[in-house]
């Protein structure tokens, strides 16, 4: 069996008067993430992990933050395209494991909704998507609530088509 692993990492700055999108869902919070797209740091980490596993470069290569067509885009659209690229190259997703690093808000109550949303977008079972959350114990940019980070790992395999 031809299996491959890829890792993704993404960060986005937090700011007032922005919406907070994580894992394809909107979370009520005093601050949101800033980016060229909707700044969904979780989806961006997943995209990079999958693209890396398939040796298809990274999210910035496919969806440049200098391209006006991606300004404000819903990251679920980008993830759907990444899954198409994966499958067009003869691979399927085995699983993706993610760690969201955020001081606030509490992420755990939102994980079931994120998993449901992502499984629909990616056309995979929810049990193929792991989402965990941690803080940075009030250290660094995450601890100062200046931003959020995500670490993602994807395992893919060559499909038998």
> Is position 62 within any domain?
no
Which residues of the chain are modeled with pLDDT < 70?
1, 161
In a domain, 96, yes or no: yes
Tell me the pTM: 0.96
Under 8 Å between Cβ of 156 and 92: yes
Q: Indicate the average pLDDT of the chain.
A: 96
Q: Is residue 130 part of a domain?
A: yes
3-state secondary structure (DSSP) of residue 111: helix
Domain that includes residue 134, residue range: 74-141
Here the tokens at position 89 are 């190259």
Write the DSSP assignment of 57-72 as a string of letters: --HHHHS-TT-GGGTT
In contact, 115 and 131? CB cutoff 8 Å: yes
Give domain status of residue 20, yes or no: no
Is the residue at 52 inside a domain?
no
In a domain, 66, yes or no: no
> What's the CA gap between 129 and 115, in Å, rounded?
6
Domain count, the chain: 1
109 CB-side CA count, 13 A: 6
Question: Which CATH number does the domain housing residue 125 bear?
Answer: 3.30.1330.50
Q: Is residue 100 part of a domain?
A: yes
Predicted local confidence at residue 67, as pLDDT: 87
Residue 110: its pLDDT value, please? 98
pLDDT of residue 161: 62
């Amino acid at each position: 069996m031809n299996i491959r692993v890829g890792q993704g990492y993404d960060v986005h700055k937090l700011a007032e008067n922005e919406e907070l999108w994580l894992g394809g869902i909107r979370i009520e919070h005093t601050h949101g993430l800033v980016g060229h797209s909707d700044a969904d740091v979780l989806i961006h980490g997943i995209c990079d992990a999958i693209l890396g596993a398939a040796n298809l470069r990274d999210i910035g290569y496919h969806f440049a933050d200098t391209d006006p067509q991606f300004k404000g885009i819903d990251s679920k659209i980008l993830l759907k395209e990444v899954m198409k690229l994966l499958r067009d190259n003869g691979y399927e997703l085995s699983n993706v494991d993610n760690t969201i690093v955020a001081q606030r808000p509490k992420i755990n109550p939102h994980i079931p909704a994120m998993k449901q949303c992502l499984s629909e977008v990616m056309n995979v079972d929810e049990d193929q998507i792991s989402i965990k959350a941690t803080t940075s114990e009030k250290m660094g940019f995450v601890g100062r609530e200046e931003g959020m980070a995500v670490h993602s790992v994807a395992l893919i395999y060559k499909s038998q088509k």
